[in-house]
Amino acid sequence: MASFVNLLFPYIKSYGKLIIFYVILSFLAKLLGISLPYFTGSYIDSLVEHIDINSIKVFSILLLILGLGNILANCVQSYIFVKLKTHISNDLKLFILKHISFIPISNLESKEPGYINHRINSDVNVIVAFILGNSFNVVINLLNIVLLLVICFRINDMLTIIILPLIPIYIMSYFFFKDKIYTLNYDMKEKENDAFSKTQHFLENMKSIKIKGAFEEYNEYIDKKLSNVLTSLLKYTRTSLQFASNKTLIKVVVQVILFYYGGKEIISGNLKIGQFTIMSNYFIMILDNLGFLYSVGEQYQNAKVSMDRILDILSINPEKNGSVLLENIENIELNNISFGYKGSNSEIKKFSYVFNRGNIYCIAGENGVGKSTLINLILGIYVEEFSGTILYNSLDIKKIDLYSTRSELIGVSEQEPKLTYMPSGTGKEHFKEELGVLLTALNVNKNLFDCEDTVMNVSGGEKLKISLIRALLKKPKILILDEPTSALDTVSIAKLKKILLDSKNDRITIIITHDEGFKDIADEIIEIKAM
């Protein structure tokens, strides 16, 4: 339970006043809920004793006030719960996403984005709902049970003593099932996330599937994943139903005892009809409160699964990022660099090179030989996972603040760019003249460049052009272009070459290309060969 508190306390604390109001309303709603059966039972006994019409009016007005108060308290409490749950869930999701953005990329490459996204959303919602819905209400329900038992004991101690031993039996059954529920629930969630991820992958690659005519193979694959979910769900459901059946059985036994011994007490004159009504309602409320605690136990196993999965993500250490801020980049020196992805041989082995400002470098080679990997190493994407040294201005890359360097000094245009919206305030309004030149040179409509829908609704070629413009607009000290000519016509290629030549003295320019015509502007050509 401590892990729940440690994770959520900062967010709960930030909404302290609203949470206090929520707890007060929860307690008030419980008190009003207790008062209604007591009031009703007292009214029945008063009727049996022949009260006058004025007393009936008073009872009716009080009943209306209590009922309306109970409705209002529950409605406001539910509204505040939704508001708090949404705020805290959003805050926690942002915290987790921020953490993910700083962990090594290699920790994410084995998981599909759809899986991670669904996992975070579902687990955060479960955790926050569990804490908000239960942490304070557990205390309130325990106090409620004690208060109800005291009232029942005062009304008829013998009947209360007969029923009381069933409460610990009710509690013990939870401990019998809790471990099995946890294990099955964990497995079910993993299967659900996996199926969600594979279904999202299917939808994202619909065009490729259509081209290949691979509908049947993909449908069989998805069907297998969904069948795994069903099998896991049914196992979990069987155990949950056994758990719930025990709860219902004990509730039935309590009602049978209450009706049998309560009826005998009424016949013997030790219990009034109204008092029997009060005790009947209160024991049902006690069982409901125990049922709530019972369900908290079941929900705890569910929430514990979600918490463990969130902690698995948060336990991944952030990648190392240095503290030195660079103002300029004169050269990049690679000395005996070796690197290979997990589970594969080295893709780059003992590679050395020096990139100097004022030069244009073309990196050439067959597909799959490590050209893009080399760029990722230069950018520090795998800063902890290579051997050798990479120096910026003779300074070890591991000592440099790479986040700041990439943001301020490096411009990259990828071969298959995934665009994000570039809102006002990000700098583009300061380069209106340069923007106009680039839009004309690459034949891009200005409205398309500014449009928020651009990230989703343009062709791959247009995305590449926009990516090129964004990289050039930064006026970076390192400019990296991956296959920049694949979406350009002959005229645009010529204009891009001129732009690169005119600005080459201000930066290090690195171009990955298969275009032989582009090599004529290169100062040096680097041939990467398969290891």
305: Cβ contacts below 8 Å, ≥ 6 apart = 182, 185, 186, 189
User: What local confidence, expressed as pLDDT, does residue 454 receive?
Assistant: 45
Tell me the two tokens of residue 141. 């329900």
What DSSP assignment string belongs to 373-403?
Answer: HHHHHHHTTTTTS-EEEEEETTEEGGGB-HH
Query: Sign of the C-alpha dihedral, residues 449, 453, 454, 455?
Result: positive
What's the per-residue H, E or C state across 4-65? Answer: HHHHHHHHHHHCHHHHHHHHHHHHHHHHHHHHHHHHHHHHHHHHHCCCCHHHHHHHHHHHHH
- Give the sign of the dihedral formed by CA 381, CA 385, CA 390, CA 391: positive
Query: Do 115 and 193 contact (CB within 8 A), yes or no?
Result: yes
Angstrom distance (rounded) from CA 479 to CA 530:
25
Strand order in the sheet with 508-512: 410-413, 478-482, 508-512, 360-364, 524-527
Phi-psi region of 412 (alpha: psi -120 to 50; beta: other; left: phi over 0): beta
Question: Taking Cα atoms as reference points, which of 342, 443, 310, 399 lies closest to residue 3?
Answer: 310
**Which contacts (CB < 8 Å, 24+ apart) does range 395-403 have?**
395/324, 395/326, 396/322, 397/322, 398/320, 398/322, 399/322, 399/323, 399/324, 400/322, 400/324, 400/326, 401/321, 401/322, 401/323, 401/324, 401/325, 401/326, 402/321, 402/322, 403/321
For the entire predicted model, the pTM comes to 0.70
Residue 465 one-letter amino acid: K
Pairing type for strands 524-527 and 387-392 reads unpaired
**Amino acid, res. 514:** H
How far apart (Å, rounded) are the C-alpha atoms in residues 74 and 87? 20
Quick one: which of 486, 509, 496 has its CA closest to 410? 509
What is the reported pLDDT for 393?
94
Three-state secondary structure of 451-481: CCCHHHHCCHHHHHHHHHHHHHHCCCCEEEE
**pLDDT value at residue 453:** 44
Q: Is it true that 2-314 and 331-527 share their CATH fold? A: no
Contact of 80 with 18, CB cutoff 8 Å: yes
- What b-and-e string marks burial along 187-207, b requiring 16 or more CB atoms within 10 Å of the CB? bbbbbbbbbbbbebbbeeeee
**Residue 523 has what pLDDT?**
92
Token reading at 168: 């610990």
C-alpha pair distances (Å), 253 with each of 215, 247, 250, 262, 406? 55, 10, 5, 13, 69
Residue 452: count other Cβ atoms within 10 Å of its Cβ.
10
- The whole-number pLDDT of residue 234 equals 92
pLDDT at 401: 93
Going by DSSP bridges, is the β-strand pair 395-396/387-392 parallel, antiparallel, or unpaired? antiparallel
- The CATH fold of domain 331-527: Rossmann fold (3.40.50)
Residue 127: burial class (beta carbons within 10 Å; 0-12, 13-18, 19+): buried
- Return the domain boundaries, the chain: 2-314, 331-527
Per-residue pLDDT tens listing for the chain (531 residues): 667 767 877 878 888 888 889 888 888 888 888 888 888 888 787 777 777 788 788 888 888 888 888 889 889 988 998 999 899 999 999 999 899 888 888 877 777 777 788 888 889 998 898 888 887 788 888 888 888 888 888 888 888 888 788 777 777 777 777 778 888 888 888 888 888 878 877 777 776 676 566 777 778 888 888 888 899 989 889 988 888 788 788 778 888 888 888 888 888 888 888 888 888 888 888 877 877 877 787 788 788 888 888 888 888 898 889 999 999 999 999 999 988 877 565 578 888 999 999 999 999 888 777 888 899 899 998 888 889 999 999 999 999 999 999 989 999 888 766 655 444 444 444 445 555 566 665 666 565 555 444 444 556 667 777 778 888 888 899 999 988 877 777 887 888 888 889 889 989 999 988 777 778 889 999 888 765
Query: Three-class SS of residue 335?
Result: strand
Fold of 2-314: ABC transporter transmembrane region fold (1.20.1560)
What's the confidence (pLDDT) of residue 458? 59
If you ran DSSP here, which 8-state letter would residue 369 be given?
S
Q: Provide the CA 172 distance to its chain's centre, in angstroms.
A: 34
